[in-house]
Amino acid sequence: MLRIDNYENIKERFNPFFIDENLIKEDYQRLVNCHYGKSCNPLIYCEALLIMGVRSGLELLLAKSVNKNVVIHVVESNVSLHDKLKKLPFNNITVFSSYEDYLQSINQTTYDLIRVDNANFTLERIITLLTKHTVSAICGELNEADCKPITLFRFCRQNCESFFFNIKDKKYNVAGSRQKIAQPEVTVVVAAYGVEGYLDECISSIVHQSLKNIEILIVDDGSIDGTGKKADEWANRFPKIVRVIHKVNGGCASARLAGLKEAKGEYIAFVDGDDWVEHPMYEDLFESAALHNSEIAQCGFYEFFADQTKNYYPTAWGADGQNGMSGLVKNPIEYLTLMPSIWRRIYKTSYLKKYSIEFPVHIRRHDDLPFAFLTISRVKRLSVIPDCYYAYRLNRPGQDVGATDERLFIHFEIFEWLYEQVRPWASMGIMHQMRLVEIGTHSWVLGRLDKPLKEDYLRQAIEGIKNRYSNYEMNDGWLNRLKDSSI
C-alpha cells in the first residue's frame, strides 16, 4: 500500500496523469486530513469505485496504484476534462458525461466506494445509488441547504456499511455505519407514582412527538391511585410504541432502573410522570446526538408553576456552534455543576452500559443527582441545543423537590455513595467539580430546610466536605457560604 506522507513525492509520481492540476494540493490535504472519513479512502483495496466529479484525479490514481484491476466509473460533466481521462494508461475506467448517462448505462452492481463531490450531490441521487447498488462505503460533501442532514443520516445507515459526508462551513458531519439491528432511536422511560391527574398530559406529549421511531416505557412504581390503570390505557391505545411495567413500590431510582434495563432504544431518556415535553424535543435531541456522534445530547427546560408562570433556562454554552449555544461542548465537565436534572437529556444506551451507569436503588429520592454526575463526568462528546423543550412542573403536592424536612438528609448518603463510585478513576478536575456540586447542594438544602434541623444538617455537611475533600481544599469561602445559607 502506498503511503501518503509527502506531497512532492505524490505529485512527482503521478504528475503526467493528473486531471485538474489546480486541485492536486487540495485533494492531497483532504486525503491526509481524512476529509471523507477514515473508511472512505482510495488506498483501501477496492475492486469497484464510482467517482462523481473527478477533481484532480488523485483518488483514481491512488486506487489504481493499489489495485491496477480496479473497475472505476467516473461521472464528470466538464467535457474539457474528458480527453485527459480517456488518455489515462489504465484499463477498466469508464467515463460518463452526465449522471443520467451513467444511470442508463450501469445496471445493479457492487461498489467498494462511492465519492460524490459538492456539484453532484443531491439527496435523490444518494437514495438512488444506495437503492440500486450494493455499496460498502459512500462519502462526499454538501451544503447544509442541500438536504436535511438527519434524513441523509437515517437513509445511509440503513443502506451501506459506512458513510461520511462533509457539510461545507459546518463543524459537524453526516457520518456513521450500518445500523446492525432494528431498534427505536429513543426510548423514553416515564417513572410514575401517584400521578393519576398528570399522566395523560405527560404521555400524550411523548406519543405525539415529531420523532416517530420511539419507544415509551411507563413504569408504574406500585401506585395506589389510578396511575397504573391510566398507563395501561395508553398501552392499549398505542401498543406499537407504549409498554407498561408494573412493579412494587421501590422509589424513583428503582422505577427508572427497571425502565433502563428493559429499554431497546439506541438512546434513552427519562421523564417524570407529572411533567411533559414539547413536540420537537426528541427529534431535535436525536438529530444533535446523531450528527455530532455524541454520547449525551441536552436541551433547555422551563419551570412551570400552578399560576401558569414559566421560567426558561436554555443552559447551553461553550459549544462549537452559533454563539456557543449549540453543537459539541468543548469542555463537558463544566456542565457538572448544572442543576442535576436528567430529564432534559438523551443518553446513548451503549455509553451507559460501557461504564455500568445505573440508578442507585437504595437511594429513594434525589437519585437524579448521582446519575447526572456519573454520566456527565465520563462523557467525551456532549452536544447541546438551547431550545427549552422540557416542562418541569413545580409546586405540585407531594413532590420530593418540595420537601423541607428530614427527607433532605438523604444528600449525605448520596455524596458518600457518589464519592466511593467516582474517586477510584476521577481526575483532579472531576473531584474539584464534585466538591463544588456538594457545596452547592448543601447550600440549596440549608436555604429551604426547616429551621430546627439546620444546625444538625450544617454540622454534618461541614464534616463530610472536610473529610472527603481534604486533598482538594480551596480557599474559596465555602464554609462561610454554607453558614450564610443556614441563616
Q: Is the pLDDT of residue 390 over 80?
A: yes
Q: Is the pLDDT of residue 439 over 90?
A: yes
Please say which residue of 366, 399, 432 terminates a domain: 399
Q: What is the mean pLDDT of residues 390-399?
A: 78
Q: Is the pLDDT of residue 2 over 50?
A: no
Q: Is the pLDDT of residue 151 over 70?
A: yes
| Cα–Cα distance list, 241 to 22, 182, 270, 305 (Å) | 54, 14, 16, 30
Lookup result for grid cell 464510482: 50
Q: What is the pLDDT of residue 353?
A: 97
Are residues 416 and 351 located together in one domain of the fold?
A: no
Q: What is the pLDDT of residue 5?
A: 63
Are residues 63 and 129 located together in one domain of the fold?
A: yes
Are residues 214 and 301 located together in one domain of the fold?
A: yes
Are residues 314 and 169 located together in one domain of the fold?
A: no
| Cα–Cα distance list, 277 to 256, 308, 321 (Å) | 18, 16, 24
Q: Is the pLDDT of residue 400 over 70?
A: no
Are residues 466 and 355 located together in one domain of the fold?
A: no
Are residues 232 and 302 located together in one domain of the fold?
A: yes
Tell me which residue of 324, 424, 302 sits closest to 374, measured CA to CA: 424
Tell me which residue of 337, 326, 311 sits closest to 429, measured CA to CA: 337
Tell me which residue of 166, 208, 160, 215 sits closest to 186, measured CA to CA: 215
Asked if residue 2 belongs to a domain, the reply is no
Are residues 250 and 208 located together in one domain of the fold?
A: yes
Kindly report the average pLDDT of the chain as a whole number: 94
Q: What is the pLDDT of residue 42?
A: 87
Tell me which residue of 257, 159, 265, 249 sits closest to 209, measured CA to CA: 265
CATH number at residue 35: 3.40.50
Are the C-beta atoms of residues 290 and 265 closer than 8 Å to each other? no
CA–CA distance, 52 with 179 (Å, rounded to integer):
26
pTM for the whole structure: 0.93
Lookup result for grid cell 450528527: 291
309 pLDDT tier (thresholds 50, 70, 90): very high
Range of the domain at 474: 403-487
Please say which residue of 347, 372, 399 terminates a domain: 399
| Cα–Cα distance list, 470 to 270, 286, 412, 457, 462 (Å) | 35, 41, 17, 20, 12
Are residues 38 and 107 located together in one domain of the fold?
A: yes
Are residues 254 and 333 located together in one domain of the fold?
A: yes
Tell me which residue of 91, 106, 108, 14 sits closest to 52, measured CA to CA: 106
pLDDT tens digit string along 105-125? 999 999 999 999 999 999 999
Asked if residue 257 belongs to a domain, the reply is yes
474 pLDDT tier (thresholds 50, 70, 90): confident
Of 7 and 284, more confident: 284
Are residues 219 and 358 located together in one domain of the fold?
A: yes
- Let me know if 105 is exposed, middle or buried by CB neighbors in 10 A (0-12, 13-18, 19+): exposed
Q: What is the pLDDT of residue 194?
A: 95
Please say which residue of 372, 399, 426 terminates a domain: 399
Q: What is the mean pLDDT of residues 444-463?
A: 95
Q: Is the pLDDT of residue 443 over 80?
A: yes
CB contact set of 148 (below 8 Å; sequence gap of 6+): none
Are residues 311 and 376 located together in one domain of the fold?
A: yes
Q: Is the pLDDT of residue 399 over 80?
A: no
128 pLDDT tier (thresholds 50, 70, 90): very high
Q: Which residues of 294-310 are buried (b: 16+ CB within 10 A; e: fewer)?
A: bbbbbbbbbbbeeeeee
How many alpha carbons lie under 13 Å from residue 105 in its C-beta half-sphere?
12
CA angle 71, 75, 76 (to 5 degrees): 130
Q: What is the mean pLDDT of residues 75-87?
A: 92
pLDDT tens digit string along 220-238? 999 999 999 999 999 999 9
Q: Which three cell numbers stand for residue 163?
A: 458513510
DSSP for 139-162, written as a single string: EEEE-GGGS-HHHHHHHHHHHEEE
Are the C-beta atoms of residues 240 and 216 closer than 8 Å to each other? no
Q: What is the pLDDT of residue 114?
A: 97
1 pLDDT tier (thresholds 50, 70, 90): very low
**Amino acid identity of 331?**
N
Are residues 191 and 169 located together in one domain of the fold?
A: no
pLDDT tens digit string along 240-262? 999 999 999 999 999 999 999 99
According to DSSP, the residues that pair with 312 across neighbouring strands are 302
Q: What is the pLDDT of residue 396?
A: 59
Domain total of the chain: 3
According to DSSP, the residues that pair with 337 across neighbouring strands are none
Asked if residue 486 belongs to a domain, the reply is yes
